[in-house]
Structure 1
Amino acid sequence: MKKVLIFFSMVLIMLINSCIKEPPPQHIQANILGITVDDPAYVQTNDVGSTYSLVFSEQVDATAVAPIFSLSPGATISPASGEPQDFSSPVTYTVRSESGNEREFTVQLIGNITLIFDFEDWVVTNPFAAEGRPDIEVPQMADPLWASTNYGVATGLGQINFGQYPSLDEYSTKPTQDSHSGNYAAQLTTIHGGSIIGVTRIPFIPGNLFRGNYAFSLSDPSGSLQFGIPHPSNLGIPIKFKGFYKYQPGEVFYGEGEVIDDNRIDEFNLYAVFFKVAKGELGAAEFLNGHSIRNEQHADYSKVVATAILPDNTAKDSYTAFDLDFEYLQEVDFEANDYKLTIVALSSKEGASYQVAPGSTLIIDDLEIVTDLFGN
């Protein structure tokens, strides 16, 4: 009888223990996954590091914008999602994870989209500050609709050099006082890269600047380039791309990998592309990238509506003017499609395949997209 009681006691303890479950682990992520705004003038959100830019096609009342946030599972945000804020100046949001981790993000408003670019305004940021990374200085355009691979350069060269991050002068894209007008222009220079342990090898990094967004991926550098800024109908139909540039190719040209080819001279790229995307929210997530933007064999190239491509990519010792007509491949129909526009500048036009001359330098200034507001 005693053995029977012991047996049933053990069974009862096992049943009780089986009913007591450990609480599920709390989520530790404190991230913003997406932002939208319930306003017909809102077109998209751009993010660079811990800074988000709400882009509107026209001026809006900046004192009462109510962004709606998508967050990591279990996370909360302050100020609250959907609560109107005064965006006359950037607003700081704090995201708190379920486990108590906190991160701060800056959200700013862009009230209209300009088509004239003088490259006067630059800022120095640390995109990794919210992650507790070292104090890293990265140059970028103050207009967040311009992007470059500078953040990738910071991460990649930081790994290559075992935590020694580039100084401001060492980036492939930066401001220069060698300007056509005003105080500054944009300087793009092809620089040496290296091997990133356990990830990939990036021997060279061309200087680049483009209208769009940079979604850093070491495994797919060309796919990281998200070309295109919304171009609503009130901006008109692009008809000309104009501006000024100068170019000096590097002294020694490298072929595939590090095979030296003494017979080639590096060239640059400078062009604008106007392309269609789906209407509404679906179109906001559509871009062209480094694989598709100039590749007529790529499926996404069918989105291209018009291009304006500088044909002369050779050396120019002094500032040279250009004035290009957009060549249209398709009709424009703002009722059926939304549209995006990008400008792309690259110091070595075959940089994706690392066929470059280190030191090749392209300087651009006073760019402009001219549009026809009436479609004539």
Structure 2
Amino acid sequence: MKLTRLLSCLFLCIIGMSCIQDEAPNAEADIVSCIVSSDILKRDPIIQNATVILMVKDSVDLTNLAPQFELTPGATIEPVSGTVRDFTTPQSYVVTSEDKNWKKTYTVRCTTEGLTTKFDFEHSELEGNKYYVFYEILEGEEKQYMWASGNSGFAIVGGNKTADEYPTTPYDFGKNGKCLKLETRSTGDLGAMVNMRIAAGNLFIGEFYPLEAMANALKATHFGLPFSFVPVSLTGYYKYKRGEVFTEKDGSVNPDAKDNFDIYSILYETDDNVKYLDGTNFLTSPNLIAIARIGEDEKKETDEWTYFNLPFVYQPGKTVDAEKLTAGKYNIAIVFSSSIEGDLFRGAVGSRLLIDEVELVHNN
């Protein structure tokens, strides 16, 4: 599914809402960017929700770093931008809006760890008491925020929903322990007003920049994070139940259409010109190396945990270069969606995909 089209349209709602109400005050107390010397980083800083992640090289002295921050207009930050701090443990920063009425606490953390490759979806937390964000636990109990979703977009159009009524949530009844639950939801009256009636449940490795999305959501969705191994396959378990009523973008019922889900992973090369793939090119870029994707004949409705094993298929003429791999030049993304055509606002409310015990199998 072209996930970013869905996110793009959801954020068009912000533009429409700006005609009738002021911008949400909490948007005035944000970190827009984090500036650190590129010599110490494996990739650009990641800003997700209230967390800033610096993926640093192994040799970096974490006791003496002084990150600088770009803030929303008029906002201030404490400690001030450029303060030297010890990042062997996560550090907190408080951003205050220009009118002094709003504060937001950010956690800035450094990590030298690569991506984990086994995902059981046991770990999630509430963002702003609104919706869930997922994370992984590394050695030493460090949290790794590698997952993003469309929940922040649904927050705009979904009304006063509880966190468990969002499209992407944890679920207590996994294959073992908890699992990931993705459910296609109605976007309500506001979504219908702008012809965007459904929001598919989704989760992907990468990051999403809501402020950039105000201008161009496709460009604001960045797929993938650095990966230092050669992927072989994506495995795991799923359950799937499609919704009963398939609707078109205009809200009309299509009795002949049936909803379906999607699971895939992409490996791509980064270079001086391509730091990430976004919603405009993530399946078409010449930097794409390999794709693992569930086939239509492998998908089925089932209330039993069903195993999938998706081999990576390399693009014509593409291979993984050992030197580039060692240098951290490759990114990987994994994407799950409860409605394969949710980007076109075609699907069935109630389509539900459960995912558990996923592994990204790789060669050393």
TM bin, normalised by shorter chain, reads 0.7 to 0.9
Give the corresponding residue for 1:206.
Answer: 200
Aligned to 1:186: 180
Determine if contact 1:43/1:57 at 8 Å carries over to the other structure.
Answer: no
> Which residues of 2 match residues 359-370 of structure 1 at below 5 A?
359-370=350-361
In the other structure, the counterpart of 2:310 is: 324
Distance in 1 between residues matched to 2:218 and 2:328, nearest whole Å: 26
Please say if 1:348 is aligned against 2:339.
Answer: yes
CA distance in structure 1 between the aligned counterparts of 2:60 and 2:171, rounded to whole angstroms: 33
- Counterpart of 2:149? 148
8 Å contact from structure 1 (residues 206, 351) kept in 2: yes
**C-alpha offsets along residues 91-110 of structure 1, whole Å, 9 cap, x if unaligned?**
22134577767743312324
Does 346-355 or 77-86 show the bigger shift?
77-86
Q: Which amino acid aligns with 1:309?
A: R
Residue in 1 that maps onto 2:167 = 172
Which segments of 5 or more consecutive residues in structure 2 lack a partner in the other structure? 1-26, 136-143
> Residues of 2 paired with 1:111 and 1:263: CA distance?
51
Q: What amino acid is aligned across from residue 189 of structure 1 in structure 2?
A: E
Match of 1:114 in 2: 116
Deviation track 1:113-161 (CA, whole Å, cap 9, x = no partner) reads: 21221111110121xxxxxxxxx42111134210001111112223xxx
Where does 1:258-273 land on structure 2 (aligned, <5 Å)?
258-273=251-266
The alpha-carbon distance between structure 1 residues 256 and 102, as it changes in their structure 2 partners (threshold 3 A), is closer
Q: What secondary structure does 1:251 align onto?
A: coil
> 1: distance between equivalents of 2:240 and 2:320?
34
Aligned mates of 1:72, 1:255 — CA distance in 2 = 38
CA–CA separation in structure 2 for the residues paired with 1:337 and 1:168 = 36
**SS of 1:169's equivalent?**
helix
Query: What amino acid does structure 2 have at the position aligned with 1:307?
Result: I
Task: Give the secondary structure class of the aligned counterpart of 2:245.
Answer: coil
1:140, 1:147 within 8 Å by CA — same for their partners in 2? yes
3-state DSSP class of the match of 2:238? strand
Deviation readout 1:28-84 (Å, 9 max, x if unpaired): 965433113335354232222333222346596655443232345676533243433
1:265-284 matched pairs, under 5 angstroms:
265-279=258-272, 283-284=274-275
The match for 2:19 is: none
Deviates more, 1:202-211 or 1:149-158: 149-158
**2:277 corresponds to which residue?**
287
Q: CA deviation at 1:278?
A: 1.7
Secondary structure of 1:320's partner?
Answer: strand
Among 298, 304, 313, which residue is 2:299 paired with?
313
Q: Matched residues in 2 for 1:287 and 1:342: separation? A: 10
Partners of 2:235 and 2:98 in 1: CA distance: 51
2: distance between equivalents of 1:72 and 1:173? 28
Task: Report deviation, 1:360.
Answer: 0.4
Shift of 1:192: 0.6
**Identity within the alignment, %:** 30
Q: Which residue of 2 aligns with 1:252?
A: 245
Offset of 1:168 from its aligned partner? 1.6
Q: Distance in 2 between matches of 1:338 and 1:195?
A: 44
Query: Residue 47 of structure 2 corresponds to which residue in structure 1?
Result: 47
Pair 62,368 (structure 1): closer, same or farther in 2 beyond 3 Å: farther
Distance 1:102 1:350 in 2: 38
> Normalising to structure 2: TM-score of the pair?
0.77
Over 3 Å counting, the alpha-carbon distance change for 1:100 and 1:115 in structure 2 is: same
Determine the C-alpha separation between the residues in 1 that align with 2:184 and 2:217.
15
CA RMSD, aligned part only? 3.0
Larger Rg, first or second structure (1 or 2): 1
Measure, in 2, the Cα distance between the counterparts of 1:64 and 1:244: 44
Aligned length: 318
| Aligned counterparts of 1:337 and 1:122: Cα–Cα separation in 2 | 28
Q: Structure 1 residues 316 and 105 mapped into 2: Cα distance closer, same or farther (>3 Å)? A: same
Q: Mark the runs of 5 or more structure 1 residues left unpaired by the alignment.
A: 1-27, 127-135, 159-164
How far apart in 2 are the matches of 1:59 and 1:169? 42
Take 2:355 and 2:305, find their aligned partners in 1: how far apart are those partners?
Answer: 9
Highest RCO, 1 vs 2 (Cα 8 Å, sep ≥ 6): 2
Deviations 1:212-254 (A, max 9, x none): 11233478665553211122xxx22112211111111111111
Q: CA 1:191–1:89 in 2, change beyond 3 Å: closer, same or farther?
A: same
Q: Structure 2 counterpart of 1:212, which letter?
A: G
